Amino acid sequence: MTNNFDCDLSTMIPVEMPRTHQNPGMLLRISEKDQLSMNQPLLKDVKKRNPSMQFRFLREMDFKRIALENKPNAEDVFKFHANGLIVHPDFVSELKMRGYKIPAVYFFKWNEEKNAWVGVLQNEVPDLPDIEETINKAIARKNASKRGKSSVKV
């Protein structure tokens, strides 16, 4: 009888922590307003490895994978703002033309061998509330409650 609990740990693959609200992983969000924005974990890692925020921005033909190659001195350099945001209407338009839903999200991992952050497009992205719309609704509710308390109805 063999021992079922005897194994070679070096052949096993690590199981990662699940992505949650508290642990979203590194991601790039694509908004209806043509914004590409890095979340805090991605921005922090990018700034740590490449403080200039300049790299080659590459994509596959079908846009399913993109890469931020850590080459700040490349001839075709691409630069995000220090806050991890850039407006890029052409990129978002290309996604839409290929039938991808916007907002969209790319989940990223650092690839040491390629010296790049590689992102994979997530096909089914839940509808994220538009922050401006959310704020406007909150202001409208606040104003409505103020009017209700201070106004006298005749």
Residue 90 burial by Cβ neighbours in a 10 Å radius (0-12, 13-18, 19+): exposed
Task: Select from 58, 70, 147, 59 the least CA-distant residue to 100.
Answer: 59
Angular region, 139: left φ>0, alpha ψ -120 to 50, beta rest: alpha
Q: What is the pLDDT of residue 135?
A: 66
More confident residue, 114 or 126: 114
Confidence class for position 93, pLDDT limits 50, 70, 90: very high
> Helix (H) and strand (E) counts for the chain?
3, 8
Residue position matching structure tokens 């338009």: 93
Classify the C-alpha dihedral 130-136-139-140 as positive or negative. Answer: negative
Residue type, 101: K
* Mean of pLDDT over the chain: 83
Sequence-separated (6 or more) residues with CB below 8 Å from residue 69: 55, 56, 57, 58, 114, 115, 116
Confidence class for position 151, pLDDT limits 50, 70, 90: very low
Confidence class for position 154, pLDDT limits 50, 70, 90: very low
